[in-house]
Structure 1
Amino acid sequence: MINIDVTVFLQMVNFLLILLIGKKMIYDPILSTMESRNRKINDLKRSAEELQRELDKLKKEYEEKMTNVKKEIAEYQNNIRQKAISEANEMVGKVKAEIDEKVENARKEIELEKEKAKVTLEREAKVIADIIVKKITKVA
């Protein structure tokens, strides 16, 4: 049979004391350490998520700015190209006008020289004709 005496009660009290002391010295500190660790982990997760959102926002802003810069560069290049084309066309027009003017002046000079030569040839032809007439009339 089972005898229940004072030692069983003392062992139960001893067990409960060890249980309470163990809870206070081991279990509670471990729980508080785990809770503080979990809080830190959750804070770090929230912080990481905020940083990720901020990074996504900055990345989007960067991409928008790069797109705008690319558009501005393209517009700038087009403007420069258009200016260069218009300046080239203007220069070609000036050169063409100068060439046309020189050609016209050369034609006028040629026409003047032609008229001078014609007048000179007519005079010389008259002189030669007179000489021929004189020679023919002397011979006849």
Structure 2
Amino acid sequence: MIDLDFTFFIQLGLFIILAISLKFILFDPYLKNLKRRDEVIVGYRKEAEELKVKVDELSRKFDESVKLAREDARKEYEGIKNEANAEREKILSDARQRMGEIIEKGREDLKREKDVILADASKHIDEISNQITERILKGTKGN
């Protein structure tokens, strides 16, 4: 059987002294550092979550501002496009009007020239008809 003598109690005392010493020298500082590390990690996680919320908010604001900028750019483009179309229509309308005026002037010029030619022709018609009549009459007399 196991003999219990006084060395057992000395070893037990030394073990208790060692355990208490290790508690103060090793375990308490280790647990204190472990607790502090956990607190730091929790703090970093909390900070990371706050930063994530801020990033999400900034991202949403950025997307919204990009959307507004695109909408403004589209409106600006449409406005410029409409102005250009209006200017084009004005230029085409002016060109059509000028072309109509030129065509009308050309028609008037042609009508005047036609009237002049017809007036000249009517003067010569009498002469030509007299000449034709004379030739016909001379031709019938000569037979």
Task: Tell me the TM-score normalized by structure 1.
Answer: 0.83
- Residue of structure 2 in register with 1:15 after alignment: 15
Matches within 5 A, 1:1-140: 7=7, 9-129=9-129, 135=134
1:67-122 residue CA offsets vs partner (Å, 9 max, x unmatched): 11111121122112211211111111011001100110001001111111121111
Query: What is the total number of aligned residue pairs between the two structures?
Result: 138
Sort the Cα spacing of 1:2 and 1:132 in 2 relative to 1 into closer, same or farther, 3 A.
Answer: closer
The alignment's C-alpha RMSD in Å is 2.7
Q: Which amino acid aligns with 2:46?
A: R
| Residue segments in structure 2 that go unaligned for 5+ positions in a row | none
| Residue segments in structure 1 that go unaligned for 5+ positions in a row | none
Q: Give the 4+ runs in structure 1 shifted more than 6 A.
A: 1-5
Partners of 1:129 and 1:10 lie apart in 2 by: 168
Task: Tell me the TM-score normalized by structure 2.
Answer: 0.82
Partners of 2:19 and 2:132 lie apart in 1 by: 161
1:33-83 residue CA offsets vs partner (Å, 9 max, x unmatched): 101111111111011111111110111011101111111121122112211
Shift of 1:126: 2.9
